[in-house]
Amino acid sequence: MLKESHPEWGCQRISDMLVRGPALPASPAAVARILRDAGYESETEPTRPHEPKVTSFERARPNQLWQTDLFTFMLKRQNRRVYLVAFLDDHSRFVVGYGLHASQSTPLVLEVFRSAIAGFGTPEEALTDNGTQYITWRGKGAFTKECEKRGVRQIVASPHRPQTLGKIERFWGSLWRECVESAVFLDLGDARQRIGFFIDHYNFQRPHQGIEGLTPADRFFGAAEEVKRTLAARVQANALELARDGMPKAPFYLTGQAGGQPFSVHAEGERVILTSADGRREIDLLPPSAPSSASGPSPSALPQPVCAQGIVSEDGEGFEDPPGPGESALDEGLDNLHEAGIIGIATTEGGAS
């Protein structure tokens, strides 16, 4: 059923989803065998020379290093090119902030950076490429100054080495294949919101093979070990339930940290159990209360994405119209100096000089 719904998923991805969803233990080899019995065939591709293996690196804890990059695509209905910037935590692959705009400007990068820091804290380092939004060849750029002001060390990747920013490049690939390539956005605002929903899915629900089938949020919020224990317990309990009843119930579990202490909430039959540092106890789930007035939010209104979002206006600093032909940004200052008598204008037969 998972393969029919998502033909692009491989055996490892299906195995991870079975563990996190209905808590069914199935190795990638078992998934491959089941698919083969169902009529799927493995395609053999001829071997070809491979490039040297890329040396991987990973920071030891969240907020040690953020990777950032820009990604561009077209809004199909408007035939309009837009630019997406994101900051991704190197240790957990958690996207801490994003922004979508019609131009690839430094103000957009700064606004997203500030929003991410406001939501998830200040990183120790920021890894960027050589784009003009991040560095300048003369003096210090606005992003470099922002990093210095906040005590963040900026690391600039070598030119023509996208492997250095491999984690966020990998995220761009997932975003394109699983969302942007087939989506038709109404306008820029609709694209911002729906891409935010995908990032929330990526952060909190999508298993990542690079971090042992966990989600980025599991690692970023320090709940990875608690998640592993909870999933293992659910798989073991579900196996016994399958042996006894033959039909799994709808899965439910929640795990994380509160006040620095790990906790988990899961269902056992008709009961809901809270496990924390104080032990295990049964809890009651109450239905949501009815809205107090008719002025409450519309049930059909979409919620806002959880991921921090940076938005800039078209008339903000950095979006000024460029000077026209024969004009310069220095013209106004030179005219003021001339009027004050500080400088003069010499003329020749060919004109002013």
Task: Tell how strand 271-276 and strand 347-348 pair up.
Answer: unpaired
The count of domains in the chain is: 3
Residue-wise pLDDT for 28-57, tens only, equals 899 999 998 988 887 766 777 777 665 677
Residue 127 and residue 205 in one domain: yes
Are 69 and 165 in contact, with CB atoms under 8 Å apart? yes
How far apart CA 110 and CA 145 sit, in angstroms, is 10
Residue 340 is assigned to a structural domain of this protein: no
DSSP of 45-99 = ------PPPPPP---SSTTSEEEEEEEEEEETTTTEEEEEEEEEETTT--EEEEE
How does DSSP classify residue 210? G
Q: What is the pLDDT of residue 348?
A: 46
pLDDT more than 70, % of the chain: 71
Distance CA 254, CA 17 (A): 16
- Are 17 and 33 within one domain? yes
Query: Please, how many CA atoms are within 13 Å of residue 267, restricted to the half-sphere of its CB?
Result: 13
* pLDDT attached to residue 195: 93
How high is the mean pLDDT of the chain? 79
Looking at the fold, whether 149 and 220 belong to one and the same domain comes out as: no
Helix (H, G, I), strand (E, B) or coil at 353: coil
**What per-residue confidence (pLDDT) applies to 111?**
94
Same domain, yes or no: 264 and 202: no
Asked whether residue 304 carries a pLDDT value surpassing 70, the answer given is yes
| pTM tops 0.85 | no
Cα–Cα distance between 217 and 120 in angstroms, integer?
Answer: 12
Q: Work out the number of other CB atoms within 10 angstroms of the CB of residue 79.
A: 7
Q: Flag whether 321 is in a domain.
A: no
Has residue 201 been placed in a domain?
yes
Take residue 312 and report the two structure tokens written for it.
């800039």
Would you say 84 and 77 are in contact if contact means Cβ atoms under 8 Å apart? Answer: no
Residues 222, 275 within the same domain: yes
The reply to whether 167 and 203 lie within a common domain is yes
Please write the tens of the pLDDT for every residue from 100-147. 998 888 999 999 999 999 988 899 999 999 888 998 888 888 999 999
Residues 183 and 259 in one domain: no
Asked whether the predicted pLDDT for residue 352 surpasses 50, the reply is no
**Whether residue 225 sits in one domain with residue 269:** yes
| 42 within a domain of the structure (yes/no) | no
Amino acid at residue number 47: T
